[in-house]
Amino acid sequence: MFLILDQCLTEFDLRLKRVAERKEIKTLLLTSAQIARDLALVFCLSEQDSRIHLHYRDATIENLDIDGVYCGINAFEPGLWEQFTLEDAEYAARETQSLWLAILASLSCRVVNPPALDTLAGTLLSTPEILYLAHQLGFKIPMVIAMESGKVTAELLATGAPARYADLGVVKINETCLSQRELSCLEQNEDHFLVKEEVHGKPMYVTLVGDQFFACEMDTDGSVRPIAACQIPSQIRNRVRNLQKRLNLNLAEYNFRVIVDGTWVFCGCGRPPTFSVAAYGDILFEQIIEYATGKGR
């Protein structure tokens, strides 16, 4: 059984399921809402062993039945328990999160991506945190600064500085690009805006599935095409491996711009891969499935 878990139903999940079933792998796709509302489970954890029993509709699954897992759930949200009071819903979300952290960590098969301390799918960092970590590992990164107010940010934007402006809001990992007009309406929000330098160069995307690289480049017309992994400088490949390990991931797409002098500038990463999917199609999905189910070991 190949188990697909995600926050909500996406085209990525559906395509992953189609490719797995075409390979005659029995597959179950569950969203966080279905897990919270429709899934019955028993989980027993001891020093010697663990036992999982999942029942969803007409499917019954035990831990030995699970050959691999793709997980795209970062956290369970209190809104999944609409019938509860806010306090009870927050408690249910925390308890469900803890339960699934324990379940995923107890499995003997591969989980893509594996749980971290506070999320079910790798370490989740804000853009400044990811860029700072990349800088520590030796990547060249864009300039990034936080502005104390929308007024100051709008004044910088008016100078024509090549940058991306994001409204950080209260939750700093949710970025929203804003126009200058919108910025000027939010003048007094303290520590509200992230200003990220725009890097002009050829867009390159590197996806790492376990130890397997998939690379592609974007042409001037916006289309993407695969390139051989050997075209990625060995130093960049090594740093991507180190970054993926530090982020507790085994599947992610890393975004670069290659500037005129040939330098690879790290601009961020995404989960699940987007541009590599457009370039490689089912080949990438097959690699994910093979890696998760152990056939790629």
239, 137 in Cβ contact below 8 A? yes
Contacts (Cβ under 8 Å, ≥6 apart) of 269: 130, 243, 247, 252, 253, 254, 255
Parse the chain into domains and list their residue ranges. 2-112, 143-197, 202-293
- The helices-and-strands tally (H runs, E runs) of the chain is 9, 15
Of residues 103 and 163, more confidence is placed in: 103
Of residues 86 and 196, more confidence is placed in: 86
Percent of the chain with pLDDT over 70: 89
Return the residue matching tokens 């003997």: 108
How far does CA 77 lie from the centroid of its chain?
17
Q: What DSSP string describes 132-178?
A: HHHHHTT-B---EEEES-HHHHHHHHHTT--EEEEE--SSTT---B-
186, 241 in Cβ contact below 8 A? no
223-249 pLDDT, tens digit each:
999 999 999 999 999 999 999 999 999
Q: Does domain 2-112 have CATH number 3.30.56?
A: no
Reading the block at residue 165, the tokens are: 């402006």
Amino acid at site 149 = S
DSSP state of 115: P
150-162 pLDDT, tens digit each:
777 777 777 877 7
Report the candidate in 281, 125, 264, 265 with the shortest Cα–Cα distance to residue 214.
Answer: 281
64-73 pLDDT, tens digit each:
999 999 999 9
What are the angstrom distances between the C-alpha of 28 and each of 36, 57, 136, 160, 255? 15, 11, 39, 50, 31
Q: At the top level of CATH, which class does the domain 202-293 belong to? A: alpha beta
Bridge partners for 286 per DSSP: none
169-213 pLDDT, tens digit each:
544 444 455 554 554 454 444 456 778 888 999 999 999 999 999
Planar angle of CA 295, 102, 21, nearest 5 degrees: 35
Q: What is the mean pLDDT of residues 125-145?
A: 90
Distance CA 168, CA 289 (A): 35
pLDDT at 152: 78
247-261 pLDDT, tens digit each:
999 999 999 999 999
Best mean pLDDT range from 125-129, 268-272, 284-288: 284-288
pTM value is 0.84
pLDDT at 50: 87
Percent of the chain with pLDDT over 90: 71
